[in-house]
Amino acid sequence: VRKFHKYLSLAISIQLLLWTISGIYFSFNKIEQIRGEHLRSTDSYVTELDFSTLTLPKAESVEVLSRPSRLIIKIKTNTTEEFFNIDGSKAAPLTKDEAMSIVQKKTLLNPLKAEKISNP
C-alpha cells in the first residue's frame, strides 16, 4: 500500500507540475499566438458586387467567401446553407485540390490530404 501511495503521489505531482507550467506558458504568451493567428495570411482585394441581378432565397445572413479562382456567396436561411457563384448559379462543392490549395494559401501549413465531410 505504501509503494502504491508513493507512486500515485508521484504521478499526481507530475501532472500538477505540468498543469502549472502550461498555465504559466499560456498566461505569459499572447492569445493570438496561442490560437495560431500568426500562421494565417490575410487576403485583401476590393470588388464591387451587384446583388440586384441575383435571384436568391430569403436569408438570415449573407457572406462573400473566396475560393482559389473566384468569389462565392454563402446564404444561410432558417433551414439550410447554400453557396452561389457571383452570377447566381449554384456553386459546386470544393474539390480536394481546391481545399488543399486554400489551406496552403491561408496558413503556413502543408496539407497531406483532404477528405470530404458531409453533414448528417
Q: Give, in degrees to the nearest 5, the angle at Cα 56 between 77 and 68.
A: 90
| pTM beyond cutoff 0.75 | no
Give the residue-averaged pLDDT of 71-76: 86
Separation CA 33–CA 30 (nearest Å): 5
Tell whether the model's pLDDT for residue 22 goes beyond 90. yes
Separation of alpha carbons 90 and 74, rounded Å: 10
pLDDT at 13 over 90: yes
